[in-house]
Structure 1
C-alpha cells in the first residue's frame, strides 16, 4: 500500500518482538483505529483522529505503524483471519452437518465484523494492493472448501461430476454476497429462514445426504 507522507523515525518493530506493554499500546491503537474507520470510513479517517481516540501522541502511533494504510491493513488481516479461519470443533460431524456448522460460524463472524467488512469491500475497489490481499484470503478459503469437497467425493458423499474448485467458488460467492446484502446493505430478511435457505442450497448443490445431519 502507499504510505502516508508523514515522516517516521524508524520502521515499526514486528508485533511479536514487542514487550507486553508495547503489545497493549499497539492493540489499543488498533481498537481506536477500528472505531474511527467504522465511524467515518476509510477515506475520511486521519491519523489525528486515531491518536485522539487512543489518547496517545503522534510519536506513539508512528512507533507502531507507518501510516493510516498500515494500520488498516493490520485490521483487515485480523478481520480475514476471524471470518475465514473457522472450523467446527466436532470432528465426527457428517459432511452436511459440518457444512452447516461452518456456514453458521462464518455468519456469526461476519455479523460481528459487518461494519469493517463494508469498508474492506469498499477499499478493495480502488486499492490494487489491498485488493490482492483480499483475493489471497478468499483464495485460501476456497482452497480449504475445495479440499473438503474433494475428500467428500472420494468418500462417495458428493457426486464426482462436480469440479471441487468451481463448486467452492460458487458456494462461497453465494454465501458471501447474500450476507453482504443482508448485513451490510440492509436487505430485509428473516434470520433463520435466510440461514436455513443458504444451508439447504449448499447441501443441495453438493448432493449431500440431509438425513445424516
Structure 2
C-alpha cells in the first residue's frame, strides 16, 4: 500500500443520508448492523435472511425495516463501513519520514486490518460477482484510495525521489492490486505462505523497486 498523501482527506461518502435518530433508535440500528455482519460472516450473503439478522440482534422483525429497506441495504452499509475502516491506516505524519518507512507502515497496517476482517472480505468477494450496486460502491472506495496514493507518489516525484516519467495513477492502481490480491489469496483462498514477515518484506521491496525508491 502507498500511504495517503493527505491523511485528513475525506473518505468515500456514506451510502445514504439518514434521518436523525433518537438515542434508543441509534442503539437499535447499531445492534442490527453488528448482528448483520456476524450473520453474513456465518452464513454468507445468499443464505442470510432478514429473520436471521433480527433474531441475532434480538429485535422484532418489523424493526429491521424501520432502519433498512432490505437485506441488500444493510449489507451495503456493513461493507461501506468496513472499507472506510480498511483505508484509515494508522500512519505517522508524512513530514520528516522517508517514503520507505511510510510504505512499510502502510503495508503492515493494511495487512493487520485485512486479517481482522478476513471473513467479511471473503463475503465481499462473493457479492462483488453479482451485485451491481455493491460493485459501484466498491469502485468508489478503490478510486478514492488510488487517488490518495497517487498524490503521495506525485509528492515524491516533486521531491525528486521518484521518476517523473512514471504515471502516478497507474502505478498506484497496480501496486494496490498487487497488495490486495496477495492478501486475498492468503486470507480468503488459503494460500500457503511461509510467514508474515517474508510476505510483507517482499511486498515492501516490490513497491519500493517499482517506484525507484531507496529501501
Q: How does 1:28-177 map to 2 (within 5 A)?
A: 28-91=31-94, 92-177=96-181
Structure 1 residue ranges (4+ consecutive) displaced by more than 6 angstroms after TM superposition: none
Shift of 1:67: 0.8
CA distance in 2, matches of 1:113, 1:174: 18
Shift of 1:14: 5.0
CA distance in 2, matches of 1:199, 1:192: 10
- Secondary structure at the residue paired with 1:17? coil
The one of the two structures with greater contact order (alpha-carbon pairs below 8 A, sep at least 6) is 2
Q: What is the aligned residue count?
A: 198
**Contact 2:41/2:123 (8 A) holds in 1:** yes
- Secondary structure at the residue paired with 2:206? helix
Shift of 1:97: 0.7
CA distance in 2, matches of 1:51, 1:104: 36
Q: Which runs of 5+ in 1 are unaligned?
A: 1-12
What is the TM-score of this pair, normalised by structure 2?
Answer: 0.88
Q: Which runs of 5+ in 2 are unaligned?
A: 1-15
CA distance in 2, matches of 1:96, 1:55: 48
Q: Which residue of 2 aligns with 1:199?
A: 204
Larger Rg: 1
**Contact 1:15/1:23 (8 A) holds in 2:** no
Q: Which residue of 2 aligns with 1:182?
A: 186
Shift of 1:18: 1.4
What is the TM-score of this pair, normalised by structure 1?
Answer: 0.89
Q: Which residue of 2 aligns with 1:10?
A: none
- From 17, 34, 37, the counterpart of 2:20: 17
**Contact 2:92/2:102 (8 A) holds in 1:** no
